[in-house]
A and B are shown apart, each in its own frame.
Chain A
Amino acid sequence: MPRPPGATDMNENLPVPPSPAPEPASMSRRSFLRGSTVMAAGVAAMAAGLAPLRKLGDFGSVDEFLQAHYNELSPDQMSTVLSRIEGEVQRQYGVRPHVRDLKAMNGVEFVYALNLTRCTGCRKCVHACVEENNQSRDPAIEYIRVLKMPNGTFDMEKGDHNYAPESVPEPGFFYMPVQCHQCKNPPCVKVCPVKATWQDPDGITVIDYNWCIGCRYCEAACPYFARRFNFSEPTIPKEQLNTNMSYLGNQPRHKGVMEKCHFCVQRTRAGLYPACLEVCPTGARKFGNILDPHSEVSQILKHKRVFVLKEEVGTLPRFFYYFDV
């Protein structure tokens, strides 16, 4: 029978004692040396394992590490943060951006309406969004997903995400772009363990990219597949960087954080339309303030037969679909 390692290792040559011997009160020099050698070998093995970390250079500065949550930053601290980000972007891309912290406007609640009769599935909105919002080109991150749906069903499992015909639209199909629905009851906000994502007063759910810990719980919670995670460091060609930036909007992200459509806050909070709307060649996209009864979206919601996706999950989207006929 092998001698149990748990027992003392003195008396190597003696028969196994019938009962356990006491552990030595103090270790012998030999066992101390041996124990220390084993420890040292273990530590050395761990240190060797960590070798790839020498290539780790982009985990952010000490200031970024210590930066407080967006809602706790004083105006002074915020301007320090903004100029720090400008400096970081300049170092990385060689151009100095203009980074602002645009707040929600009073008396404004944004709503989007999308005309499924008019959408032709050209995906111009997808690409305009990528360029406007400084999304990573490789790996490609896109906030808008357009589904090619066969007429006669709304079962999204029947939709085609990767359609690539010579020209669109194809007969027998309709096209349904899906992006963040800016829900009034957003499950993503509820599940975030660190309040890194929240709903602003104008109805836009934003993300503090500098606070997100990258647990991806929000991504699991979203019923619309609206969120995108930076699985690696994003790459954007220098000449394609959009330098008109906002903190909660299109400032360049880093690996390990979540992002998603924010209705182009850097544009819409400054009185412009979202990029996806401006580029749409068919006028299928409508955007505006639902609190203004004369706005286009108010009129659409009043007069068209509109619907929302997955109404049964109770998320109360601010993104409506409608048909012209």
Chain B
Amino acid sequence: MIRAVRNYFVFLGRSAALAFDGDWRYYAWLGALTAMCAIGLNAYSHQLVDGLITTGMTDQVSWGVYIANFTFLVGVAAAAVMLVIPVYVYGNEELHDLVIFGELLAVAAIIMCLAFVTVDLGRPDRFWHLIPFLGEFNFPGSMLSWDVIVLNGYLVLNVYICGYLLYSRYRGQKPAKWFYIPFVFIGIFWAISIHTVTAFLYVGLGGRPFWNSAIVGPRFIASAFTAGPAMIILALQVIRRVTAYHVPDRALLTLRSIVQVSMIINLFLLANEVFKEFYTDSLHVASARYLYFGLHGHHALVPWIWTAIGLNLTAMTILALPISRSIKWLDLACVCAILGIWIEKGMGLVIPGFVPSPLGEIVEYIPSWNETLICLGIWAFGLLCYTLFLRMSVPILLGTLSQAGERNLVPAPATPRSDLPATNSAH
């Protein structure tokens, strides 16, 4: 037992040591991200001192880019299942090890989500009021309490699955199925639930007709399964470029078909929503009209949403054409899809829900400089986390960091290996 604990700590220690070791390019990258984090932290310190007045939010538009980014990133986290399902449900061996990269992305995304909701709180020092049993947890009444549970649960599930698989690989052991397969399947449903619950945060509000629509949940899922795998496609290419890890093109193309189908569904659902709003043409169309065309001379969101629609249509066109089998075009489609959906979910969903206000007042929202720096800081922090996770996990998956290596203080000469990573032997 003690030995097992000791082994585990040696593993953690070696991984952590590795995370801060690399060549100058790696340090430059870490340095840049750390600098951005420090700038974000500085901006957040100003917000703590002066209050949320440092943001662009008002009583009329009481949620802004923090909640917008939060909503988008919940989708990215949920999309990790788009790698899990092909592997564990359909037995696609190609993507097997890549699942870990997807799940680590989910972990980084959830960390960012939690950071975004924390910076949105007026009294973050009272976070303990949210802890079940310790505080006063309004469960099951408040959808926000559901969100606290599903997000933290999802974080734990993914940390556990990744940690277990990586540690098994490090020790050169076959992972025991009963120790992780059930959690993988729980994780699939859990991933859907995190984004559904996040959609229900909005859908449940009868006083906000723009959100109070049953299609918001399905739209969230469709857009998440577009932007998330698109992000994984880009991440995998970075991995194969800067590490020795081999990611086959076929894996990227499998993800391509997921992005392709999801994007089509996403735009179809969007068309449904637009039809319902504008054909009905009731008073409830005000928010949608404000978003797409402007209302009573206020147009702040119009350029945003048409940019998003343009990007999404471009992405869909590229994806529908055979040219997207070439990686360059695929990358372009992915970048368009990510940006398009980020706008659509953020400025295009959160903000118009508040405009006009329930009393018909139009107050526009523009994120402040300080607010923007905090967002950039959190994104940098998420990227920093993902970088460190990859720096630790890639050598383990390659077999270059293993328990066998512990005994040799002098590194052994490189053993000849095939270019392909060892497949996980769990199957």
22 A-B pairs whose Cβ atoms sit less than 8 Å apart in the complex? A4-B243, A25-B411, A41-B31, A42-B34, A53-B45, A139-B53, A187-B205, A192-B138, A193-B137, A194-B138, A195-B137, A212-B126, A213-B129, A217-B144, A219-B62, A220-B208, A221-B205, A227-B59, A256-B121, A256-B123, A310-B207, A313-B206
- B309 to chain A: which residues have CB within 8 Å? none
Determine chain A's interface SS by DSSP, over half rule: loop
Supposing A7-B243, A193-B145 touch, asked if A229 and B122 sit within 8 A by C-beta, the answer is yes
Question: What distance in Å separates the Cβ of B330 from its nearest Cβ neighbour in chain A?
Answer: 22
Q: Tally A-B pairs: CB < 8 A.
A: 279
Chain B residue total in the interface (Cβ 8 A): 101
B50-88 contacts to A (CB < 8 Å): 50-53, 55, 57-60, 62-63
Stretch at the interface among B90-98, B185-193, B412-420: B412-420
Q: Are A213 and B130 in contact, CB atoms less than 8 angstroms apart?
A: yes
Encoded as 1 (CB less than 8 Å from any B CB) or 0, chain A from 48 to 90 comes to 1111110110011000010001001000000000000000000
Nearest-CB distance from B389 to chain A (Å)? 12
- Residue numbers in B under 8 Å from A42 (CB-CB): 30, 34
A17 at the interface (CB under 8 A from B): yes
Is A323 at the interface (CB under 8 A from chain B)? no
Distance of A36 from chain B, by nearest CB (Å):
8
- Asked if A215 is an interface residue, CB under 8 A from chain B, the answer is yes
Partner of A147 from B42, B123, B359 at Cβ < 8 Å? B359
Bound Cα distance from A256 to B57, whole angstroms:
13
Decide if A256 touches B136 in the complex (CB within 8 Å): no
The answer to whether the Cβ of B391 comes within 8 Å of any Cβ in the partner chain is yes
| Stretch in contact with the other chain, from B160-168, B263-271, B395-403 | B395-403
In the A-B complex, the 8 residue pairs with the smallest Cβ-Cβ separation, listed nearest first, are: A214-B122, A223-B207, A256-B122, A6-B243, A156-B360, A5-B26, A49-B41, A157-B360
Kindly provide the distance from the CB of B21 to the nearest chain A CB, expressed in whole angstroms: 5
Known: A25-B407, A45-B35, A220-B205. A191 touches B245 (CB 8 A): no
Task: Other than A49-B45, A220-B354, give 15 A-B pairs with Cβ distance below 8 A.
Answer: A5-B23, A22-B399, A24-B411, A25-B408, A38-B27, A45-B34, A72-B136, A193-B137, A195-B136, A220-B205, A220-B353, A222-B358, A229-B62, A256-B51, A256-B122
Name which of A4, A8, A26, A39 has the most chain B CB atoms within 10 A of its CB.
Answer: A4
* B276 CB-CB contact with A under 8 Å: no
Query: Quick one: closest A residue to B50, CB to CB?
Result: A232
A6 vs B387: C-alpha distance when bound (angstroms): 10
The answer to whether A193 and B148 touch (CB under 8 A), given A222-B207, A229-B59, is yes
Q: How far is the CB of B170 from chain A (nearest CB, A)?
A: 11
Cβ contact within 8 Å between B46 and A52: yes
Q: Taking CB as reference atom, which chain A residue is nearest B212?
A: A313
Per the 8 Å Cβ criterion, residues 16-39 of A in contact with B are 17, 19-27, 31-32, 34-36, 38-39
B303 within 8 A of A: no
User: Once the chains bind, are B122 and A257 in contact (CB under 8 Å)?
Assistant: yes
Decide: A6 near B22, CB < 8 A? Known: A23-B405, A231-B57, A232-B51.
Answer: yes
Residues of B contacting A100 in the complex (Cβ-Cβ under 8 angstroms): none
A228 and B416 CA atoms in complex are apart in Å by: 67
Report which of A25, A39, A155 forms a contact with B405, defined as CB distance below 8 A.
A25
Of residues 285 through 307 on chain B, the ones whose CB sits less than 8 Å from some CB of chain A are: 286, 296
A178, A194, A221: the one within 8 Å of B130 (CB)? A194
B62 touches A216 (CB 8 A): yes
B384: min CB distance to chain A, Å: 9
